[in-house]
Amino acid sequence: MSGDRLGSWLTLLSVALCLGPPLAVALEGLGAPPAAALTAPLAALALFALGWRRIPPLPLALARRHPAAAALWILVLAAAAFGGVRASLYARDATQPRHSVDPGDAFRVEHCCMTAYAEAARFAAEGVDNPYARDLYRPGGEPRRLGPLTVDPFHYPPPFLLLPGAVRAVAPDFFDTRRVWFGLQALVLGAALLGLARWVGGEEGRRVALGAALVWALPSTFLGLQFGNFQLTAIPMALAGCWLGWSASRPRTGGALLAFAALGKVFPCLLALHVLGGRRWRFVAWLTAWGAAFALLTLALYGWAPFDGFFRHELPRLASGASFPQSEQPSGILVNQSFYGITTKLRALGLDALDAAAGKRLSQLYALLVAAAAVAAGRRLAREGEAVDGRDRLRRAVTWLAILNLASFAGPFVGGGYGNWGTLWLIVLLWALAGSRVARWSWLAALLPVGAPIFVLPSPTDRAALTTGLLLLALVAPLAGLALNAAALRLARRPAPAG
């Protein structure tokens, strides 16, 4: 067996270990008997084996040259597989908190972002006048509960309802909806991690395939999947849409993916602006067409009420920050990863000039700067022309992911459990792009200041005082995230020709 073929089979085995348990949970949510659901790991392996020639092989030659690094990767893969099993067990049964990412933290055990999605889709299907009304989710200011989970308010634009609505159509019971949603998010993430490696190709693509296991093994990945927050799907979906629509001559598919991500989570709109700046007119046309189609389909299924509720009720509250009162509360200040969250931390440290009004003005300026950077990066890629090799394609993926991450920080509140996840993925891509061993280890070391603080800081349910030490620690991750993503836009530039 050739090295590449063996490397491809090892990739397939890794896929089965990581995606098999979430798919088994999703099948159970769809009503499959336990025996059939447990065959999911083998089904996943068989499905990917049918196209093994298209699967990025793991770089076995690299492993032979660096056995210590290969052993470390095996440990990472084991952690990824173990974490996936544990997360799947909690997704299967929410009454088993010992399987959650942090069983000792009541907030992380009970918090579930997708409760808002499922309930909003139910309210819209039932014809509720305003599915954004906060009292539907938190009557009297206290969160409702679905079993052991607390219900979140709903803030997303109406077309997003299409996705949870489709899941509820095949799994009406909430806990079945949760199981299918978990499997769907895991599948989209796994497909994006491997699809990016395949698209990049060459030695860089193999490094991206290696790095996929590290991304999967990160505690932030499992916490985001446990919460069910759409950000862990919107970022891979938008990134896949960009590489398909921009560089793979598949603007129809890419347009659908990016359009839904942009309509669903809003911040990927700045990546759509980047496409416009790059003058990829076929891609822009498909983006526009799919956006209109999703909006019309939402109108046909749910009527005008969600649109009326969003534009008359929710959008003004989002603009004023009233939708996220936790952004001004001590527990929320510590975990908020947004640009506005940086201003509230600095205000708590004594910079009184950064009051709420000043923070909002600075956040608006920040959003404009990110939009300008996205357009400028699009024009740069247009001048560079088509990508010439795997390294060039990886640079473009870094550019797109950096734009998405910077755009995600523009909202009033970005939860700590998932807010820096895209930056962690970016660091892994920069590791794959690095040209020296020192640079690669430096990038891996950067995972610590971005990913670790949120697991050290007090949970939002704690009544911790805003001490100087906690505030300084809370500033590390968002400031490091801003700096790394901004630096990535420059590092991703194609080097000027010699001479």
The residues that bridge with 150 in the sheet, in sequence order, are 111, 145
Q: What is the mean pLDDT of the segment spanning 422-446?
A: 93
Q: Are 283 and 292 in contact (CB under 8 A)?
A: no
At residue 52, does pLDDT exceed 50? Answer: no
Task: Render pLDDT for 6-31 as a digit per residue (tens, 0 to 9).
Answer: 566 666 777 777 888 998 899 999 99
Measure the CA–CA gap between 434 and 147, rounded to whole angstroms: 47
Q: Are 177 and 167 in contact (CB under 8 A)?
A: yes
The residues that bridge with 149 in the sheet, in sequence order, are 146
Please give the model's pTM, rounded to 2 decimal places.
0.94
Residue 469 CB coordination number (10 Å): 8
Range with lowest mean pLDDT among 8-22, 84-98, 260-274, 478-492: 8-22
pLDDT band at 248 (very low <50, low <70, confident <90, very high): low
Amino acid type, 319: A
Cα dihedral 76, 82, 187, 220 sign: negative
At residue 49, does pLDDT exceed 60? Answer: no
What SS3 class is residue 434?
Answer: coil
Q: What pLDDT is attached to residue 151?
A: 96
Task: Render pLDDT for 281-338 as a digit per residue (tens, 0 to 9).
Answer: 999 999 999 999 999 999 999 999 999 999 999 999 998 888 898 888 888 899 999 9
Q: Name the token pair of 456.
A: 């050290």
- Cα 243 to Cα 102, 137, 191, 194, 287: the distances in Å are 35, 38, 13, 13, 14
The residue ranking higher by pLDDT, 274 or 463, is 274
Range with lowest mean pLDDT among 73-77, 141-145, 336-340, 457-461: 457-461
Amino acid type, 38: L
Measure the CA–CA gap between 475 and 10, rounded to whole angstroms: 40
Q: What is the mean pLDDT of the segment spanning 235-246?
A: 95
Range with lowest mean pLDDT among 13-17, 142-146, 422-426: 13-17
Q: What is the mean pLDDT of the segment spanning 157-168?
A: 98
Which helix (H) or strand (E) covers residue 266, if one does? none
- Cα 423 to Cα 58, 400, 403, 429, 482: the distances in Å are 24, 12, 10, 10, 9
The residues that bridge with 146 in the sheet, in sequence order, are 149
Q: What pLDDT is attached to residue 457?
A: 84
Q: What is the mean pLDDT of the segment spanning 258-281?
A: 95
- Cα 159 to Cα 295, 428, 448: the distances in Å are 6, 32, 36
Task: Render pLDDT for 194-232 as a digit per residue (tens, 0 to 9).
Answer: 899 989 988 898 889 889 989 999 999 999 999 999 999
Q: Name the token pair of 62.
A: 């690299």
Side by side, which strands form the sheet with 111-112?
Answer: 111-112, 149-151, 145-146
Average pLDDT, the chain: 89
Task: Render pLDDT for 370-418 as a digit per residue (tens, 0 to 9).
Answer: 999 999 999 999 998 887 788 999 999 999 999 999 999 999 999 888 8
Range with lowest mean pLDDT among 71-75, 261-265, 364-368, 491-495: 71-75
Q: What is the mean pLDDT of the segment spanning 54-83?
A: 71
Phi, psi of 413 (to 5 degrees): -145, 130
Angle between helices 3-29 and 40-49 (to 10 degrees): 140
What SS3 class is residue 137?
Answer: coil
Amino acid type, 210: L
Q: What pLDDT is attached to residue 400?
A: 97
Range with lowest mean pLDDT among 31-40, 102-111, 144-153, 276-285: 31-40
Task: Render pLDDT for 76-99 as a digit per residue (tens, 0 to 9).
Answer: 888 888 999 999 999 999 999 999
Q: What pLDDT is attached to residue 1?
A: 47
